[in-house]
Structure 1
């Protein structure tokens, strides 16, 4: 079943694609342009093109096509499993692996691998995210907990909400941080200038990151970050906000950075109470080989 949105233009005016994308920020401008090209957008009952200039008082109507269903299949993809029992799995996600399928990544994800290696997963999330309690970015490596049934999923998700689980990350950032530790308490929401990015904004969701310095290099600092909240791109946004963006970060970092496969960010430590036994479990995995090699190279240059 298709969805329709209808609104009267008032303050945001100009090109139709820009007006719709800025009015409904959950849709990208490229999506809107596809709908315009397909004839799914009308102004005052007339089909319009992307370059139509929206005027104050125009009534815009958009028919949003039903998304193509994703074919969720089990795939024999290598997946480092750190822990597994009847209730849950702890995975050490490799850098470069997407957590669950989406329009841009229909397969080859961690979920596809889980369906092959684990099979039984909770069904609380929608069909493309079975078992997924929390996520990390495609180019962030490290530990994730995955629920095998709905009861375990509810218990693990509640710990994240109550801030009783432990998540520690190791990050390499640009610049030499002068102090030993700090806390960044700054709300995060979607950037008003780039839809792909998050930013510290006044009306964003609460976000708190604690960090401490592990090692300093010439022009770089290795830090450990502990999250109180789990906002999208939180560490990447917060460290950029205080002037120390992550090395290798293609979205938030400088163009001249260390060679790698994305941001140098690794979810190294994960701790939580087992959903049925209440036993405190804690897991730790080493930095990926490329991360370790990069640190060694920086040490040799000092």
Structure 2
């Protein structure tokens, strides 16, 4: 169902093109924003807008947004390479491989954790939207490591609350370019969608508060292996924050990594791994922790980095 929105142009969008302004305001891609404008569904002070029109703060926008595409329903199908780290009546902790999304989303045609669990005969909680049942947190499709899925309704509600209240210990390791200075620190910078509308995220004034703690485990000639603890869990948070301080994850070409270095390390995705996950078990409250070993591509990249140092 289409959604009608009316609002003034914020001061921060003064001088922006109309298509860029729509992309930032409503989380659309620039292409999708241009389509909405071309359809005559955007009025600026009562007049149909053109995508190249420059915005004036305080002008009145009237926008008819098309209904978002519905996410596909899960199709149970085993996922090769996805293993179970732990399972009981309430939770299942998976070791998520590369190229696997957490759950079905519009436009994603690859495998998902949810479909893999259902396809292997595991039960999951039915709370939440059908395409996200049991999912209480996510890892990027090309980020590997430990991920918990709720099997019982109690586990779903308690784990959702735990992630929201930041009582879950989420530990990652990342191989980043260069040597962060200081070797241990905190990146506290708000994150929102990238102004380009191309699906990336960025440090943006007025974005959602985002906090990343890092500590150097080992320094190589041109790279550093970091231990990372997240306080918040924004989309692409580690990748965005490390790129913002000019130390992108090795292999992360979308966020500014050196493609020559990535090729030398044999990386076809970001070197980022969810190495450990700890939380209060929803059944009885006792603390549990689960660890995930590095997959082969990350091990190989580390071996190359060590050999070159």
| Pairwise TM-score range, normalised by the shorter structure | 0.7 to 0.9
- Please state how far the C-alpha of 1:221 moved relative to its aligned partner: 0.9
Contact 1:184 1:238 in 2 (8 A): no
Structure 1 unaligned segments of length 5 or more: list them: none
Match of 2:287 among 261, 280, 288: 280
- Please state how far the C-alpha of 1:43 moved relative to its aligned partner: 5.2
- Please state how far the C-alpha of 1:58 moved relative to its aligned partner: 6.4
Contact 1:185 1:206 in 2 (8 A): no
Match of 2:150 among 147, 152, 167: 147
Query: In the alignment, does 2:206 pair up with 1:203?
Result: yes
Query: In the alignment, does 2:199 pair up with 1:224?
Result: no
Distance 1:241 1:224 in 2: 17
Contact 1:17 1:32 in 2 (8 A): yes
The 1:18–1:237 alpha-carbon spacing in structure 2 relative to 1, beyond 3 Å, is closer
2:66 corresponds to: 65
SS at match of 2:228: strand
- Please state how far the C-alpha of 1:33 moved relative to its aligned partner: 1.8
Distance 2:228 2:180 in 1: 13
Match of 1:176 among 176, 179, 199: 179
Distance 1:88 1:192 in 2: 34
Q: How does 1:121-160 map to 2 (within 5 A)?
A: 121-160=124-163
Match of 1:270 among 233, 253, 277: 277
Distance 2:278 2:44 in 1: 53
Distance 1:211 1:54 in 2: 40
Contact 1:7 1:59 in 2 (8 A): yes
Please give the per-residue CA displacement for 1:17-73, whole angstroms capped at 9, x wherever unaligned: 234334x24222222122234444455666665456777886543322223333312
The 1:60–1:235 alpha-carbon spacing in structure 2 relative to 1, beyond 3 Å, is closer
- Please state how far the C-alpha of 1:224 moved relative to its aligned partner: 1.2
SS at match of 2:253: coil
Please give the per-residue CA displacement for 1:229-287, whole angstroms capped at 9, x wherever unaligned: 22222222222333322111122233333131211000011112211132322111211
- Please state how far the C-alpha of 1:147 moved relative to its aligned partner: 0.6
- Please state how far the C-alpha of 1:119 moved relative to its aligned partner: 4.9
Please give the per-residue CA displacement for 1:95-122, whole angstroms capped at 9, x wherever unaligned: 2212122222155222222332255322
Structure 2 unaligned segments of length 5 or more: list them: none
Distance 1:65 1:178 in 2: 46
Distance 1:55 1:244 in 2: 36
